[in-house]
């Protein structure tokens, strides 16, 4: 039941919330992507081996997954503002540790720093849930997608700061590659302060107050496990959880091995590889508002089906492309990004709708943990698969991951994933 509050206009607060979250995600994306751009290179330089480059990337992915749960717990107890600000504070600490590790040439310390740096990615992902807290059911997919779309700004501009960051590092007397993390420290600090000041009233706490719900501070510490179990027990929630985890794992599995595959063609330049990845990133984020509209109008289940079809098409198109076929690979990775967008947005919306107000933050944090762990496994497995059977085998195994999603989708039923309608009271 909605409890009216004459002092608060939920519609106006939701507009403000979307603006603050969108700006924060866009700005933090600069810090995230500039760090990711040089993270593997920095790990390679510190360790002196190419193998360490993969360790650096994996540390960041695992950090984003593991940190998601405690951040969700903070949000559950104190609101989204506190949870997101705490996450960016951890990312600032991670960036500082990364700089110190580079100065000391310590690989273990560097991996610890990159692990904590992953908290910024966790915050960017959890911001999408904050966007849905005050949204009415029939606009929930659109609200969530707008914050995902805001990531486009940082994802496109962030890598371009690697060069200026290198010059900054040299000017400060630091290892040149660490300059990117100095930029990240400034960006994450600004975002954390901006959220603390501007994200008022807190969307999660206000939503609970308006709907007569409150945080159950007496819940057991294993609330995340129970909340994810509640999601899985609901047919639509099960579909949403599976869609998020599978879409992310397939995307990472194919994407991370594409530059390596293209590098096997002697005539392929880094510029061409970068363009292919840029097309992929555009597919992930640029069309998010359209995906959100699809989820709200055609239904969550239909959008998941579209995403699964796109992931299969992407694996087939990219997996059959020779190393030098940049156009075919670009088209495949564009479809891969679109499939990921459909699965993430529709799936996240289903997870949100599968549980009550009190369990949502825990369920959302648990979902992001599973999503990150799936991506980490897919990323680690990509190298051996590429060595064993080439890029085609990577794409084939990634496509096989879609099969469980298809099975869950078929068992959900026609009514699963329909858009809830908020009736007038």
Residue 74 pLDDT exceeds 60? yes
- In CATH terms, are 7-209 and 222-413 the same topology? yes
Q: Which of 241-245, 331-335, 385-389 has the lowest mean pLDDT?
A: 385-389
* Mean predicted lDDT score pLDDT of the chain: 87
Helix residue spans in 48-136 (DSSP H): 51-78, 80-104, 107-117, 119-132
Give the pLDDT confidence score for residue 334 in this predicted structure. 96
Give the pLDDT confidence score for residue 217 in this predicted structure. 47
Q: What is the pLDDT of residues 191-244, one digit of tens each?
A: 999 999 999 999 999 999 988 755 554 454 457 899 999 999 999 999 999 999
Dihedral sign (CA 381, 332, 125, 38): positive
Split at pLDDT 50, 70, 90, the class of 381 is confident
Q: Which of 126-140, 142-156, 308-322 has the lowest mean pLDDT?
A: 142-156
Query: With b meaning 16 or more CB within 10 Å and e meaning fewer, what string describes 104-141?
Result: eebbebbbbbbbbbbbbbbbbbbbbbbbbbbbeeebbb
Give the pLDDT confidence score for residue 218 in this predicted structure. 47
One DSSP character per residue, 4-51 reads --TT--HHHHHHHHHHHHHHHHHHHHHHHHHHHHHHHHHHHHHHSSTH
Split at pLDDT 50, 70, 90, the class of 358 is confident
Quickly name the fold that domain 7-209 has: Growth Hormone; Chain: A; (1.20.1250)
Split at pLDDT 50, 70, 90, the class of 54 is low
C-alpha distances in Å from residue 93, one per residue of 118, 164, 181, 186, 218: 11, 22, 10, 11, 31
Give the pLDDT confidence score for residue 5 in this predicted structure. 56
Residue 352 pLDDT exceeds 50? yes
Across residues 78-85, what is the average pLDDT?
96
Split at pLDDT 50, 70, 90, the class of 52 is low
Give the pLDDT confidence score for residue 216 in this predicted structure. 52
Give the pLDDT confidence score for residue 425 in this predicted structure. 40
Contact 288, 26 (CB under 8 A): no
Give the pLDDT confidence score for residue 184 in this predicted structure. 92
Give the pLDDT confidence score for residue 31 in this predicted structure. 85
Helix residue spans in 355-389 (DSSP H): 360-389
- Domain positions in the chain are 7-209, 222-413
Q: Assign domain 222-413 to its CATH superfamily.
A: MFS general substrate transporter like domains (1.20.1250.20)
Give the pLDDT confidence score for residue 126 in this predicted structure. 92
Give the pLDDT confidence score for residue 220 in this predicted structure. 47
Residue 151 pLDDT exceeds 70? yes
**Taking the CB of residue 153, how many other CB atoms lie within 10 A of it?**
17
Residue 424 pLDDT exceeds 50? no
Residue 280 pLDDT exceeds 90? no
Across residues 248-263, what is the average pLDDT?
85
Q: Identify the residue whose tokens are 């400060």.
A: 172
Helix (H, G, I), strand (E, B) or coil at 287: coil
Highest mean pLDDT among 15-29, 37-51, 370-384: 15-29
Burial category of 23 from C-beta neighbours within 10 Å (exposed 0-12, middle 13-18, buried 19 and up): middle
Q: Which of 155-169, 178-192, 300-314 has the lowest mean pLDDT?
A: 155-169
Q: What is the pLDDT of residues 287-308, one digit of tens each?
A: 999 999 999 999 999 999 999 9
Give the pLDDT confidence score for residue 414 in this predicted structure. 64
Dihedral sign (CA 325, 327, 330, 336): negative
**Taking the CB of residue 28, how many other CB atoms lie within 10 A of it?**
31
């Amino acid at each position: 039941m909605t409890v009216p509050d004459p002092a608060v206009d939920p519609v106006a607060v939701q507009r403000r919330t979307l603006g603050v979250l969108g700006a924060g995600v866009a700005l933090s994306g600069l810090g995230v992507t500039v760090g990711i751009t040089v993270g593997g290179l920095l790990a390679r330089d510190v360790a002196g081996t190419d193998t360490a480059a993969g360790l650096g990337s994996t540390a960041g992915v695992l950090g984003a997954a593991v940190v998601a749960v405690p951040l969700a717990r903070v949000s559950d107890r104190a609101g989204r503002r506190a949870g997101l600000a705490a996450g960016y504070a951890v990312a600032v600490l991670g960036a500082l540790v990364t700089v110190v590790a580079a100065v000391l040439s310590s690989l273990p310390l560097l991996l610890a720093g990159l692990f904590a740096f992953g908290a910024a990615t966790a915050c960017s992902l959890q911001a999408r849930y904050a966007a849905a807290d005050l949204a009415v059911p029939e606009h929930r997919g659109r609200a969530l997608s707008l914050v995902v779309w805001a990531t486009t700004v940082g994802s496109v501009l962030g890598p371009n700061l690697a060069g200026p960051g290198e010059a900054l590092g040299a000017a400060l007397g630091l290892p040149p590659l660490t300059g990117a993390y100095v930029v990240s420290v400034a960006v994450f600090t600004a975002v954390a302060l901006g959220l603390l000041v501007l994200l008022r009233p807190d969307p999660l706490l206000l939503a609970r107050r308006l709907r007569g719900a409150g945080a159950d501070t007496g819940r057991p510490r294993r609330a995340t496990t129970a909340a994810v179990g509640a999601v899985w027990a609901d047919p639509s929630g099960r579909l949403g959880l599976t869609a998020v985890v599978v879409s992310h794992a397939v995307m990472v599995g194919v994407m991370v091995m594409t530059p390596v595959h293209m590098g096997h063609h002697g005539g392929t330049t880094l510029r061409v590889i970068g363009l292919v990845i840029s097309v992929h990133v555009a597919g992930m984020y640029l069309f998010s508002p359209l995906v959100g509209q699809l989820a709200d109008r055609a239904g969550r289940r239909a959008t998941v089906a579209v995403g699964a079809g796109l992931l299969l098409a992407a694996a087939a198109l990219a997996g059959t492309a020779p190393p030098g076929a940049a156009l075919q690979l670009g088209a495949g990775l564009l479809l891969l990004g679109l499939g990921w967008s459909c699965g993430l947005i529709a799936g996240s919306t289903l997870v949100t709708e599968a549980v009550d107000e009190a369990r949502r933050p825990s369920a959302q944090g648990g979902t992001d943990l599973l999503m990150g762990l799936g991506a980490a496994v897919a990323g680690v497995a990509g190298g051996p698969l590429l060595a064993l059977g080439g890029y085609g085998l990577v794409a084939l195994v990634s496509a096989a991951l879609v099969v469980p999603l298809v099975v869950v989708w078929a068992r959900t039923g026609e009514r699963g994933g329909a858009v809830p309608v908020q009736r007038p009271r």
